Chain A
Amino acid sequence: MRYQRRGGALLASALLCVVVLVMSATSSARTSAAPSWCGPKKITLGLTDGFGGNSWRLVTTASARAEAAKCPRVTSLTYADGQGNTQKAISDIQGMVAKGLDAIVVFPDAGKAILPALRSSYKAGVVTVPYRVTPGGKAGVDYNVFVDTPFTQAGENWGRWIRGVLPKGGNVLMLSGPKGNSQGVEENKGLHKILDPSGKYKFIGEQPFEVTNWDPALTQKVLSAAIAKYPKIDVIVSDFGPSLVGALPEFTKSGRTIPALATSDGNVLGCFWKKNRAKNPTFKLFTVSTQNDHARLAIQWAVALATGGKKPASTHFPSLVFENSVTGKPNPVQCKPNLPGDIYLSAQLSAAEQTKLVKK
C-alpha cells in the first residue's frame, strides 16, 4: 500500500514534470517560431469590417485572427462588424481608438466616408492599416499604410485565359457588384488591357459591367435577361463566382449550354462545374483566388508597425490564379462535396477549419 502510494506520488510528479516540460517546450517553440513581423512590444489589436455578413468575410476574419495568433505579443484582438452601416463602421473605429487599442486593421467598405475616422485614429497615435478597399487619402498623413490588391491584375489574368480558350474572339459579358464599385471598374480595365489590342472581343451588356449588387436574386434576373437579349455569349466574367450558381442554370432553361466562365473561386462553384460539365461542353472554368488571405498581410503590417517588428516586403497582395479547368494548372477545379458550399479552398485556412466556422 505504502509503496503503491509512494509510487503513485512519484508517477504523478513525473507526469507533472512531463507536462511542464512539454508546455515550456511548446511555448518556447512558439516564441522561437514567432515570425519576423512580430516585434518585441506587447500590443492590443482591433479589426473592423464595414460589412461582415457573408461567408467570405467570415473566413477572411478568421484568417486575420489566425495570422494575429502567430504573434504572442498580440495580447488581445477585438472585432467589430459595421453591418453595412457607414455610421456604425465609423463609430466602431472611434470606439477602438477610445478604448486605447495600439493598432487597428480596417476593411473600409464605405471608402472615402471612412477617411476622417481613419485620420483621427492615426492622429491619436494608433497604428491604422486599411486594406482592400481604397479609402482615399495618403499613407503617412491619413493612416500608416494601405494594403491594397491590384484588381486590374485579376482582370488581366481573366483576359489572358479568355485569349487562350477563345482564340478567335467572342462576346464577353461582365458582372460585378454595385454600380461603379472600384473593384469591378479596375477589373474591367485589366480585362480591356489584355483583350482590346486583338480587336476580336466584344463587350456586351451594360458597360463597364452589369450591376448585380453581388445579390444572387438580382444576378439571376440580370443573367436571364442577358441570355434572352444576346443570342451569343461566349464567356462570362464575374468577380463573385459562387453567386452565379443559382443563375447559371438559366442557360439550361433557355435551351443553351453554359459558356466559359472566368471568375473567383468557391467550393459550391467547383462542385457545380463538376456536376454540369458533361452536359455543357462549352462550360470551361477559370478562377483567381478569392483572396481571403489579403487580411493576413494587413495584420502583418499592423503588428509589425505596432510591435516594432520587421515590415513585410510589399503593401500589395497579388491576384493569384487558382483553378483552370483547361490546363489543370496551377490546380484543376476543386470540389469537396461533403463540405459546405460556402468555403473557399484557395484560402490558407484549412477546409476543416472553415467548415467549423460556417457550420457554427
Chain B
Amino acid sequence: MLDHVTPEAHESGSKELQDAIPRGARHVLSRGLTTVTVATVALFAASFLFAESSLSRGVLLTMLPFAAALAIASLGQTLVVMQGGIDLSIAGGLSLYVVIVTKYPAGDNSKLLTAIGIAFVAAIAAGWLNGLLIGRMRLNPIVATLGTNALLFGVVLWYTAGIPTTTTARLASIGGGLWLGIPIPVYVAVAATAVVTAVVKLTPSGRRFEGVGANETAARTAGIRVKRHRTGAYVWAQILYCLAAVLHAGIVNQPTAHEGDNYLLPSVAAVVLGGTSLLGGRGYLVATAVAAVFLSQLDQFVLALGVTYATRTLVQAAALALGVALYTVNWHAAGRRLRVRRAASVAPT
C-alpha cells in the first residue's frame, strides 16, 4: 500500500503520512474495489433511470456471460500487470483457444474434452514463451507479447485458414446455459476470481508473487526467484485466457477466427478500472472482475440508449479515460495546488 503514499505526504509531517497508510489494509476494502463498485452501482442506477430496457431479463442474460468471460480474461491480465508487464498476446491466445475448442471437435461432443485439454496445453506453451522472452531474456513486455500475438495468430490462420467452425452442442449448452436462473459462466467466473484471489492473497507463493511485482530488487535481495515468478504470471494469464475462451466459444455459437480481438482493450481497461497500477505491484483481483461487469453493462447501457455507433464508442472511451484519471491523477495534490494558486492570487490585494 506504500505506492499510495504521495511524495507530498512524505514532506509534510508525520500526521499526513499516517493518514496515507491505511491501517489493517488487508481487511479493508481496497480503494480500487470501492471505486469500481460505486461506479458499477451508479451505472446500474443510470441504466434504470435512462435506459430501463438494458436491465430487462433478456439483456442481462446476454450481458452476464460475456461479462463472466471478460472477468476471467482480465484476471489473467491483472496477474501480468502486477508484474509490471502487459499482455498484448491475449488477442492471439484467446482466438487460438476458441478455434481449438470449436474446430478440433467439429461438432462431435465426445471430442470436446480432448479439445479443451489441447487448448490448455497450447495456453501453457504460449505463456511459457512469453515468460521466457520477458522473465528470462528481459525483453520489453509490449514488444515480446506483440511478437507472440503475431505468432499465435499465425497458428490460428494455419490451423483454420481463417475459417470459423460452429460450436459443439455441449459447449453451447454450457456457455449459453442457466443454472438456478443464472448463466453458468457466472459461476465459473466467481469461482475463478475466488481461487485466484485466495492463491495470490493467502498463500506464501502468492505473497512472494505480489512482492516481486512491487519491488523486484527487494524481492531478489530477499532471495525470491524473480524470473520464475515473472514467467509464472504469463503462464497463469494464458491459462485464464484459455478458460475464458472455452466459455466464449460456448456463448457465441459461430465464433470467428479473431474472437480474441474483442478482449484486448477491455481486459486492460478492466485492470485499470479495478485500480491495479500499470507499474506493477499490488493487484486488485475482485475489483478487476467487478470492472468487467461494469464494462459489459456499459456496452448494453449505451446500446439501449439508442445512440449511434460513434457515440457509443465515444462514451466507452470517456468512461475509460475517467477511470484511468481517477487513479493516476493525484487529486489531493491537484486540489492543494489549486488552493495554493488561489491563495497566491488573493495575497497581493
Residues of A within 8 A of B (CB): 52-55, 57-58, 81, 83, 179, 205-206, 211, 215-218, 220-222, 224-225, 227-229, 242-243, 245-246, 249-250, 253-255, 268, 340-342, 358-360
**Cross-interface CB contact of B300 among A225, A246, A249, cutoff 8 Å:** A225
Q: Report, nearest first, the 9 A-B pairs whose CB atoms are least far apart.
A: A53-B162, A254-B58, A246-B253, A228-B53, A225-B303, A224-B62, A228-B56, A211-B309, A341-B166
On whether the beta carbons of A58 and B163 are closer than 8 Å, the reply is yes
Contact A360:B161 (CB < 8 A) given known A179-B309, A225-B53: yes
* From A58, A222, A243, contact of B254 by CB (8 A): A243
Tally the A-B contacts, defined by beta carbons under 8 Å: 112
Q: Are A215 and B59 in contact (CB under 8 A)?
A: no
Closest CB in chain A relative to B345 CB, distance in Å: 47
Does B57 touch A at the CB level, under 8 Å? yes
Instruction: Find out whether the CB atom of B300 lies under 8 angstroms from the CB atom of A53.
Output: no
Chain B, residue nearest A59 (CB): B163
- A225-B304, A268-B254 as given contacts; A220 in contact with B62, CB under 8 Å: yes
Interchain CB contact under 8 A, A225 and B59: yes
Decide if B176 is an interface residue (CB 8 Å cutoff). Answer: yes
* A228 lies within 8 A of B59 (CB): yes
Q: Which residues of B contact A341 (CB under 8 A)?
A: 166, 254
Kindly identify which residue among B254, B258, B299, B300 contacts A245, using a CB–CB cutoff of 8 Å.
B254
Given contacts A228-B53, A268-B166, contact A179 B310 (CB under 8 A): yes
Cα–Cα, bound, A37→B54 (Å): 56
Residues of A close to B304: CB separation below 8 A: 225, 228-229
Q: Which residues of B contact A (CB under 8 A)?
A: 53-54, 56-59, 61-63, 66, 106-107, 157, 161-166, 176, 248, 251-259, 262, 299-300, 303-304, 306, 308-310
B124 to chain A, nearest CB (A): 26
Chain B residues whose CB sits within 8 angstroms of the CB of A217 once the complex forms:
66, 248, 251-252, 255, 259, 262
Establish whether residues A221 and B303, one from each chain, have CB atoms under 8 Å apart when the complex forms.
Answer: yes
- Whether B165 lies near A342 (C-beta < 8 A) is yes
Q: Is the CB of A52 within 8 A of B162?
A: yes
Q: SS class of chain A's interface: helix, strand, loop or mixed?
A: helix
- CB contacts (< 8 Å) of B61 on chain A: these are 224, 253
- Asked whether, in the complex, the Cβ of B310 is within 8 Å of the Cβ of A229, the reply is no
Cβ of A31 to closest chain B Cβ, rounded Å? 33
Q: In the assembled complex, which residues on chain A have CB atoms less than 8 Å from the CB atom of B62?
A: 220-221, 224, 250, 253
Cβ contact within 8 Å between B56 and A254: yes
- CA of A205 to CA of B307, assembled, Å: 9
Q: A54-B256, A83-B162, A268-B166 given. 12 additional CB < 8 A pairs?
A: A52-B161, A53-B163, A54-B163, A57-B162, A206-B306, A211-B309, A216-B255, A225-B300, A227-B59, A250-B58, A254-B58, A341-B166
Cβ-defined partner of A54 (8 Å) among B53, B162, B252, B259: B162
Q: In the complex the two chains form, what is the Cα distance from A205 to B163 in whole Å?
A: 30
How far does the Cβ of B300 sit from chain A's closest Cβ, in whole Å?
6
